[in-house]
């Protein structure tokens, strides 16, 4: 299964943000065991790096990003994706951009904790994803 991992799920694991990290850690376990193939957008990885730097500093953040790059594939954001997001009915531009990449690449699901995002049939929360993929 090919999934796009939203920034909040990644931050939950790298920051060990309770109680969410229990489920995000489970997602990362599936990635490490090659049971799922994960993606992150290019804009998502820069967002993760920025947030990690604020908490851990430059050196530790680079190490964490290196780990992330070993586990996830990069879903490049194209100009067409930006226009698709801009013209989308989705109000949150970042979410619309993620959907545009998701659709262009043809992935199976987006894993996110974003409440608005979860209204889409293409998005599942980490806990529900794990419940269906044991």
If DSSP states are collapsed to H, E and C, what string results for the chain? CEEEECHHHHHHHHCCCCCCHHHHHHHHHHHHCCCCEEEEEHHHHHHHHHHHHHHHCHHHHHHHHHHHHHHEEEECCCHHHHHHHHCCCCCCHHHHHHHHHHHHHCCCEEECCCCCHHHCCCEECHHHHHHHCC
Q: Note the pLDDT tens digit of each residue in 88-100.
A: 988 889 889 999 9
What does pTM read for this prediction? 0.90
Q: Note the pLDDT tens digit of each residue in 13-66.
A: 988 888 888 999 999 999 999 999 999 999 899 999 999 999 889 999 999 999
Banded pLDDT at 118 (limits 50, 70, 90): low
Domains recognised in the chain with CATH numbers: 2-75+109-129 (3.40.50.1010)
Whether pLDDT at 5 is above 90: yes
């Amino acid at each position: 299964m090919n999934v796009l991992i939203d920034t909040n799920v990644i931050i939950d694991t790298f920051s060990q943000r309770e109680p969410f990290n229990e489920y995000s850690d489970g997602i990362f376990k599936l990635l490490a065991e090659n049971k799922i193939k994960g993606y992150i957008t290019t804009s998502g990885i820069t967002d993760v790096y920025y947030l990690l730097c604020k908490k851990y500093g430059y050196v530790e953040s680079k190490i964490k990003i290196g780990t992330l790059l070993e586990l996830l594939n990069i879903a490049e954001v194209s100009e067409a994706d930006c226009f698709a997001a801009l013209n989308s009915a989705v109000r949150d531009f970042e979410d619309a951009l993620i959907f545009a990449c998701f659709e262009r690449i043809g992935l199976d699901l987006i894993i996110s904790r974003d409440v608005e995002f979860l209204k889409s049939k293409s998005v599942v929360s980490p806990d529900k994803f794990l419940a269906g993929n044991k």
